[in-house]
Amino acid sequence: PAASLLYPYGLDQHDQKNPKLDDGTSKKVSLTVPFTFYGKKYQNLYVNNNGVISFDSRVNQYTPDPFPLADGRPFVAPYWGDVDNVLGGDVFYRETTDPTLLARITKNINQYFPKIPYTATWAFVATWDHVAYYGSTTNKGNTFQAVLTTNTETSFIILNYWDIQWTTGAASDGDPETGLGGTPAHAGFNSGDETNFYNIPGSQTEAIINITETSNVNVPGRWVFQVDDFKVTGVPTETPKAADNNNCWL
């Protein structure tokens, strides 16, 4: 059931779709429920084409910086790189209280965090569907997803990596033909306080292309974090059995 890694998305799920615009973003999304991210409640967010969900302000920047960021922007970066949805792919998002989806999210969170009582009452799903990279001369695309969920007190973010074919856009010194090299994409969290942040292993290295194989919850391609307070370790797991160290997590 590998396809079940992604939660349902697309126009048939009543998703909104971002404009076809290089370095573009969604309109400001006003949430019906505040989302607590590292001790602060946020009611507005943006889904940025370049693989970032940001709180309160847009992120147009296409070459990623390592966390923590000096300017204090709070955001989650499922896969921060130079996406160009004009060349290919779509960016979808929706806020939802669909009972079927919430039940599935609840089941997953309970599985990964058995000691934390949790029943999802709200979710926000953003999906980058086969998105191209800036300057691409190929049809390579990346498909990944971020799900924010809360029960109004405890917040989690689920990151799903279904298909990653490129790491770098041409303006970040990537190769137009391969989508590799230069300054590769970055994945993680930045709280905005310069203290609390997390960089998913492999970020900004060529190893980030293997993020479909890594995990902190023993589900290849999925990373899950409790984010209402700063807790980066997720759940205790065995180190994934792999031939190299890129698949370890700390």
Q: What is the pLDDT of residue 230?
A: 66
Q: Does a structural domain hold residue 249?
A: no
> 232 falls in which pLDDT band (50, 70, 90)?
low
Q: What is the pLDDT of residue 1?
A: 45
Q: Is the pLDDT of residue 203 over 80?
A: yes
Q: What is the pLDDT of residue 138?
A: 96
* Percent with pLDDT over 90 in the chain: 85
3-state DSSP call for residue 203? coil
Beta carbons of 49 and 26 less than 8 angstroms apart:
no
CA distance linking residue 72 with residue 74, whole number of Å: 6
Domain range for 144: 11-226
Q: Does a structural domain hold residue 248?
A: no
Provide the terminal-to-terminal Cα distance of the chain, rounded to the nearest Å: 27
3-state DSSP call for residue 31? strand
77-135 pLDDT, tens per residue? 999 999 999 999 999 999 999 999 999 999 999 999 999 999 999 999 999 999 999 99
Q: Does a structural domain hold residue 4?
A: no
Q: Is the pLDDT of residue 243 over 70?
A: no
The domain tally of the chain equals 1
* Residues facing residue 246 across a β-bridge: none
42 burial type by CB count under 10 A (0-12 exposed, 13-18 middle, 19+ buried):
middle
H or E stretch at 44: strand 40-48
Q: Does a structural domain hold residue 237?
A: no
Q: Does a structural domain hold residue 131?
A: yes
* Distance set, CA 187 to CA 53, 61, 211, 234 (Å): 11, 14, 9, 15
H or E stretch at 160: strand 155-163
Least confidently predicted of 63-67, 126-130, 177-181: 63-67
Q: Does a structural domain hold residue 65?
A: yes
Structure tokens, 242: 């792999």
Least confidently predicted of 21-35, 59-73, 107-121: 59-73
Q: Is the pLDDT of residue 67 over 70?
A: yes
Beta carbons of 131 and 175 less than 8 angstroms apart:
no
CA distance linking residue 71 with residue 129, whole number of Å: 29
Structure tokens, 109: 């969170």
The pTM of this model reads 0.91
* Distance set, CA 46 to CA 24, 52, 105, 192 (Å): 10, 8, 22, 16
Q: Does a structural domain hold residue 236?
A: no
Beta carbons of 108 and 43 less than 8 angstroms apart:
no
What rounded mean pLDDT belongs to the chain? Answer: 91
Beta carbons of 167 and 180 less than 8 angstroms apart:
yes
Q: Does a structural domain hold residue 243?
A: no
